[in-house]
Amino acid sequence: MIELYQFWDSPCCMKVRMVLAEKGVEFTIRPIITYKFDHYQPEYSLLNPHNLVPTLVHDSRTIMQSGVIAEYLDDAFPSPPLRTSVPITNAKIREWMREEEEFLFKLIVTMSFNTMMKLRVKVFGIDKLREWANFHPDRARSEDYLHRVTAPADMAAVADAERKFRWHMERLERQLTASGGPWICGDQFTLADICLAPILDRIEYLDRSFLWAELPGVTAWYALVKQRPSFMAAAPHFDDRMWGPKKPIPAEAGLANFA
């Protein structure tokens, strides 16, 4: 039995859902609503002491960290393979997996927080956010979260993140040219493609697809990956996405309007 503890509108969770879809593996979703701080509830802390999503439980064995989960699933369910038999290609796959984890994910956090997550206070109200924040065991961190979510958007930080993200997209363009495509590491769809696809999905939802404008290789790659059944199965439905540039908050903000 496979259980996935996850939040729908999380690129890290989408990554794992894509791997599961590619493998054709059935799994049970255990919802973790992060803006309600479900991931700091004692029961979840026993599973994941870092209080992060996703967490995979396979036959009572727990695996944490989305990239590790992706590699574990590729080992546990080897068909179809999402890595190759060529060591140098596998090294390149891991390189792009790390690029996503260490650089791209941090950049989308900056862009997401300033263009999406600050809308929570308009929808739920500060009293409800404070009530949920009380689940966080670290009072200083929960107060910092409340301060950041209510402070004005830091558009200078967003602009800096955009500039850095564009640099990585130009690097991806060169990689696609060098590999010969159509996928990041050549003619085989791999974990490298799965790790980057949710990042571009989030950027597109933030209405910032201009960050790969005039990069034909990246544009073609993303169009191709969006056609895969695993992408379509794993991408959040519109109703499950947080509010943002493409999903305005309800006309009358408030918890009663939350679907």
Q: Give the per-residue SS3 of 26-69.
A: CCEEEECCHHHCHHHCHHHHHHCCCCCCCEEEECCEEEECHHHH
pLDDT confidence tier of residue 257, bands split at 50, 70 and 90: very low
Range with lowest mean pLDDT among 55-59, 104-108, 145-149: 145-149
CA distance 23 to 236: 19
Instruction: Tell whether 200 is covered by a domain.
Output: no
Per DSSP, the three-state class of 244 is: strand
Residue 54 located in a structural domain? yes
Q: Tell whether 256 is covered by a domain.
A: no
Q: Residue 43 has what pLDDT? A: 94
pTM as predicted: 0.93
Distance CA 13, CA 178 (A): 29
For 109-133, the pLDDT digits (tens) are: 999 999 888 888 888 888 988 888 8
How many angstroms separate the first and last alpha carbons of the chain?
Answer: 30
Mean pLDDT, range 14-32, rounded to an integer: 98
Asked if residue 177 belongs to a domain, the reply is no
Work out the number of other CB atoms within 10 angstroms of the CB of residue 228. Answer: 17
Return d(Cα 201, Cα 206) in angstroms, integer. Answer: 9
Distance CA 112, CA 90 (A): 31
Please state the rounded mean pLDDT for residues 240-250. 87
Higher pLDDT, 137 or 229: 229
Is the pLDDT confidence value at 150 over 80?
yes
pLDDT at 126: 87
Q: Are strands 2-6 and 28-31 parallel, antiparallel or unpaired?
A: parallel
Let me know if residue 55 belongs to a domain. yes
- CATH number, domain of 40, equals 3.40.30.10
pLDDT at 255: 44
Nearest-angstrom CA–CA distance, 91 and 89 = 5
Question: In the structure, what pLDDT confidence band is assigned to residue 142 with cuts at 50, 70 and 90?
Answer: confident
* In the predicted structure, residue 256 carries a pLDDT above the cut 50: no
Contacts of residue 51, defined as CB under 8 A and 6 or more positions apart, other chains included, come to 39, 40, 44, 45
Please write the tens of the pLDDT for every residue from 92-102: 999 999 999 99
Query: What is the mean predicted confidence (pLDDT) over 220-227?
Result: 98
How much is the pLDDT for 252? Answer: 61
Where do we find the tokens 């862009």?
Answer: 111
pLDDT at residue 137 above 90?
no
Q: Average the pLDDT over 146-159 and give the result.
A: 91
Alpha-carbon distance of 37 to 26, in angstroms, equals 27
Q: Is residue 202 part of a domain?
A: no
At 135, the pLDDT band (50, 70, 90 cuts) reads confident
Six-digit token pair at 246?
Answer: 């493409």
Please give the tally of structural domains in the chain: 1
Confidence tier at 136 by pLDDT (50, 70, 90): confident
Q: What angle do CA 115, 108, 225 make, to 5 degrees?
A: 115
Is residue 52 in some structural domain? yes
Domain hosting 11: range is 2-76
Distance CA 244, CA 251 (A): 14
**What is the pLDDT, as a whole number, of residue 81?**
98
pLDDT, mean over the chain: 93
Q: Is 27 within a domain?
A: yes
Q: Which two tokens stand for residue 81?
A: 């393979």
Average pLDDT over residues 153-170: 97
- Beta sheet of 2-6, edge-to-edge order: 28-31, 2-6, 55-58, 61-64
Please report where in the chains the tokens 């590699």 appear, as a residue.
Answer: 71
Q: Name the helix (H) or strand (E) containing 92.
A: helix 87-99
